[in-house]
A and B are shown apart, each in its own frame.
Chain A
Amino acid sequence: MSGGSEVAAILPMQEPVERPVVKQDVNPRREVRTGAELLCSLLEQAGVDTIFGYPGGAVLPIYDALYSSPIRHILTRHEQGAIHAAQGFARVTGKPGIVLATSGPGATNLVTGIADAYMDSTPLVILTGQVPIESIGRDAFQEADIVGITMPVTKHNYQVRDIHDLPQVIADAFYIATTGRPGPVLIDLPKNITAGPASAAVLPQAHVRGYRLPGLPQAADVEAIIEAIRQAKKPLLYIGGGIVSSGASSYLREFAHRTKIPVVSTLMGLGAFPAHDPLFVGMLGMHGTYAANRAVTECDLLIALGVRFDDRVTGKLQRFSPHSTKIHVDIDAAEIGKNVPVHISAVADVGLMLQALLTREVHIDTAAWHEQILLWNEEWPLQYHASEGDLKPQQVVELIAQYTHEEAIITTEVGQHQMWAALFYPFSRPRQFVTSGGLGTMGFGFPAALGAQVARPDSTVICIAGDASFQMNIQELQTIVENQLPVKVAIINNRYLGMVRQWQQFFYESRYAESRIGSPDFAKVAQAYGALGLRAQTLAEAKTALETAFAYNGPVIIDFIVKEEENVFPMVPPGKGTDEMTLEWEE
């Protein structure tokens, strides 16, 4: 980061992050007798209207207080379902997702979701019950050191040991979860604290001494970036989830259009820049498009905005964008230079940086560069071979896009279907695509769709799932049916752990060890739960099923029986450079 004066004068006064709004109409002086009642009052004051959770012994006082609270509680069938639902809620709204679970197994069942939210910078406030303070350390029934367990996967965590600390802890937890680089914050609540006496309190201002947010973009950084762009012949914008978190999509669009710089996106950035925009080259990385990966390799200026140079993006580091001057703008100082050394860096909110950049005039001639990218696109466009007999997974994704006018909120599980969803559904707005990027959590997508639908009751929410992934949190069928959530689940059923099988085919001589996986009749399972269950094996059946599903105002599970051994291409094999793509597989 370089020094210099701030560019405050030219920037509109605008908050980059959607912050929790303190509700003015909530009366903090309402009668409060217990710690749990105080907790509910403070949550209401922090703007909480929905909690995803599961009760148990150590949180009985909290559930008793919730019983007479206006906060909506969604009872899932597993704590993991609750936290992924809260992630879905947070990802489509930008507001923190709230989770409540009991001590011991209730808390440990949340760990995968917490780690997932930490990797994908999702704001969550997680409340866990704990055994009474006098029992802590004695291996009490349902005791687990959840603060210790979650230290490496939370942005911060707390154990409330004195009821007088609770108001400040709640205020600070929401502040930390939602500002800067968002992330999960856990609050552990011993039962004697929530059951014990308390009196009403106003939610205080957050005050966290050791927590610093970056200031406004520095004028010198802005100048350095503009100067680098002026020198560039083949510039490329490499954008990621930070654009979404920052709410910077409109600034990005304007900046790309004004400078005519083409855009490649990470998995987490999809939707932040419209897929149909002529400047959009595609997703980059292991399963990125041919043109996107060629562009990254050949560009002379790489402008990385709100990204973290993940290994699934860079491939072999020595071969990653070898000829480029690299600029990195991120709100998290620790991301600068973590994986890839860069020439120009700025620790700043990307939205504020883009606004600052928009105040400068830049005219560069990138016509030849655009021509080259178009040629790469023609050389190897995104494609698959449609065949007469088989239903292809890519076809199913294209059909879903067609039937939803490309406007649905799409969540995914993890694996081949996730990549096909990323490549073949054209996303046009931020927060439209909800997927587990960093941690790669199978079982994420279905409960995330549940949470997304709770947050966006009027939107079409579709979970594109794999037959194996869907079985990891299939129990949440009961939750969507009970709550009449019209989530549609499209299972891309290939009878395999498809991505595992693909790797075994390529790198383990087609020895399909344990990747063949059986499933129940998903349509019947759906019916047993009270959802509509459909099955499609041909293109015609697929169309009929989608028509039926979208005509039905309730939860639907469609089992698409697709070709078994289809592979995701292009693919950058592990340990190879992004320019060493496998485009098709010959036996």
Chain B
Amino acid sequence: MERTFSVLVNDRPGVLARVAGLFSRRDFNIASITVGTAEEAGLSRMTIVSSGDDAMALQIMRQLEKLVEVIEVADISKDPVVKRELALIKVEADKNSRPEISHILEPFRVAIVDVGHSSLTVQVTGGVEKIDALIGLLRPYGILEIARTGVTALLRAAAKEVEESGEEVGS
């Protein structure tokens, strides 16, 4: 099954190499990895999406914990989390197709961040399924380029909080 780990690490040179190296050396899979500064100065938070059974997930956690630059590891696969990814999609769009594309984009609450004569670039944020769905819908018009950030995630404050409206549309 898919596994998501939230890893707090020192913000030092080489830390990403240590973590990525551990995954390849131990034959653990990485679907995506995102890194950015965390709440405390000098620390970064990595969100790593991987896969494996419970034993594999435990082994990944314990091997990560052995890295001296790793401060804290949490397996948030089964916890209520907010998971988000951002994607930039450049799609072919001429005068004729543009209104139709705009129509598709509407329920996704995307931002059109760049417009050219024959293309437009869309910024979409949300869960992986939502982004996959939008890409699927835009593909017939001709996708020129895609850049995705990979998933980043945080635990929810309370399990029962309702998913904010609009985010699950399109899936």
Give me the interface of A with B, judged by CB distance under 8 Å: 147-148, 151-152, 155-156, 176, 208-212, 332-334, 336-338, 341
Given the contacts A151-B18, A210-B10, A334 and B66 also touching, CB distance less than 8 Å = yes
Query: Is the pair B71, A210 in contact by a Cβ cutoff of 8 Å?
Result: yes
When C-beta atoms are compared, the residue in chain B nearest to A209 turns out to be B71
**Which residues of chain B are within 8 angstroms of A338 by Cβ–Cβ distance?**
59
The secondary structure that dominates the B interface is helix
Query: Is the pair B17, A176 in contact by a Cβ cutoff of 8 Å?
Result: no
CA distance A155 to B10 in the complex (A): 16
CA distance A506 to B16 in the complex (A): 46
**Which residues of chain A are within 8 angstroms of B25 by Cβ–Cβ distance?**
152
Query: Is the pair A212, B17 in contact by a Cβ cutoff of 8 Å?
Result: no
Query: Is the pair A334, B59 in contact by a Cβ cutoff of 8 Å?
Result: yes
**Which residues of chain A are within 8 angstroms of B10 by Cβ–Cβ distance?**
209-210
A283 to chain B, nearest CB (A): 28
Contact residues, B97-120 vs A (CB, 8 A): none
Query: Is the pair B62, A152 in contact by a Cβ cutoff of 8 Å?
Result: no
Give me the interface of B with A, judged by CB distance under 8 Å: 9-10, 14, 17-18, 21-22, 25, 55, 58-59, 62-63, 65-71
Given the contacts A148-B17, A152-B21, A337 and B71 also touching, CB distance less than 8 Å = no
**Which residues of chain A are within 8 angstroms of B21 by Cβ–Cβ distance?**
151-152
B78 to chain A, nearest CB (A): 18
Query: Is the pair A208, B17 in contact by a Cβ cutoff of 8 Å?
Result: no
**Which residues of chain B are within 8 angstroms of A152 by Cβ–Cβ distance?**
21-22, 25
Most buried by B among A147, A151, A332: A151
Given the contacts A337-B55, A338-B59, A341-B55, A156 and B68 also touching, CB distance less than 8 Å = yes
When C-beta atoms are compared, the residue in chain B nearest to A183 turns out to be B66
**Which residues of chain B are within 8 angstroms of A209 by Cβ–Cβ distance?**
10, 71
Query: Is the pair A176, B58 in contact by a Cβ cutoff of 8 Å?
Result: no
CA distance A476 to B67 in the complex (A): 35
**16 chain-A/chain-B pairs, Cβ below 8 angstroms:** A148-B14, A148-B17, A151-B21, A152-B22, A156-B68, A210-B10, A210-B70, A212-B65, A332-B66, A333-B62, A333-B65, A334-B59, A334-B66, A336-B62, A337-B58, A337-B59
Query: Is the pair A210, B69 in contact by a Cβ cutoff of 8 Å?
Result: yes
Q: Which of A147, A334, A341 contacts B62 (CB 8 A)?
A: A334
Query: Is the pair B63, A334 in contact by a Cβ cutoff of 8 Å?
Result: yes
When C-beta atoms are compared, the residue in chain B nearest to A341 turns out to be B55
A29 to chain B, nearest CB (A): 30
CA distance A308 to B63 in the complex (A): 14
A439 to chain B, nearest CB (A): 15
CA distance A338 to B59 in the complex (A): 7
**Which residues of chain A are within 8 angstroms of B59 by Cβ–Cβ distance?**
334, 337-338
B74 to chain A, nearest CB (A): 14
Query: Is the pair A210, B63 in contact by a Cβ cutoff of 8 Å?
Result: no
Q: Which of A147, A211, A332, A341 contacts B68 (CB 8 A)?
A: A211
A478 to chain B, nearest CB (A): 37
B7 to chain A, nearest CB (A): 11
CA distance A426 to B70 in the complex (A): 43
**Which residues of chain A are within 8 angstroms of B71 by Cβ–Cβ distance?**
209-210
CA distance A333 to B60 in the complex (A): 11
CA distance A210 to B66 in the complex (A): 8
**Which residues of chain A are within 8 angstroms of B14 by Cβ–Cβ distance?**
147-148, 151
CA distance A147 to B59 in the complex (A): 25
CA distance A338 to B71 in the complex (A): 22
When C-beta atoms are compared, the residue in chain B nearest to A336 turns out to be B62
A328 to chain B, nearest CB (A): 13
Most buried by B among A147, A209, A332, A341: A209
Query: Is the pair A210, B68 in contact by a Cβ cutoff of 8 Å?
Result: yes
**Which residues of chain A are within 8 angstroms of B68 by Cβ–Cβ distance?**
155-156, 176, 208, 210-211
> 4 closest pairs, A vs B, by CB?
A334-B62, A156-B68, A210-B71, A333-B62
Query: Is the pair B55, A151 in contact by a Cβ cutoff of 8 Å?
Result: no
B58 to chain A, nearest CB (A): 7
CA distance A553 to B35 in the complex (A): 61
Given the contacts A148-B17, A151-B18, A152-B25, A210 and B67 also touching, CB distance less than 8 Å = yes
Beyond the given A152-B25, A332-B66, A334-B62, could you list 5 further A-B residue pairs with CB under 8 A, ordered by the A residue number? A156-B68, A176-B68, A208-B68, A209-B10, A212-B65
Query: Is the pair B17, A151 in contact by a Cβ cutoff of 8 Å?
Result: yes
**Which residues of chain B are within 8 angstroms of A156 by Cβ–Cβ distance?**
68
**Which residues of chain A are within 8 angstroms of B9 by Cβ–Cβ distance?**
210
CA distance A175 to B14 in the complex (A): 21
CA distance A212 to B21 in the complex (A): 21
CA distance A151 to B55 in the complex (A): 25
CA distance A208 to B70 in the complex (A): 11
CA distance A148 to B18 in the complex (A): 9
When C-beta atoms are compared, the residue in chain A nearest to B62 turns out to be A334
When C-beta atoms are compared, the residue in chain B nearest to A155 turns out to be B68
CA distance A343 to B123 in the complex (A): 50
CA distance A152 to B17 in the complex (A): 10
When C-beta atoms are compared, the residue in chain A nearest to B63 turns out to be A334
When C-beta atoms are compared, the residue in chain A nearest to B68 turns out to be A156
CA distance A463 to B85 in the complex (A): 59
A471 to chain B, nearest CB (A): 31
**Which residues of chain A are within 8 angstroms of B65 by Cβ–Cβ distance?**
212, 333-334
When C-beta atoms are compared, the residue in chain B nearest to A181 turns out to be B66
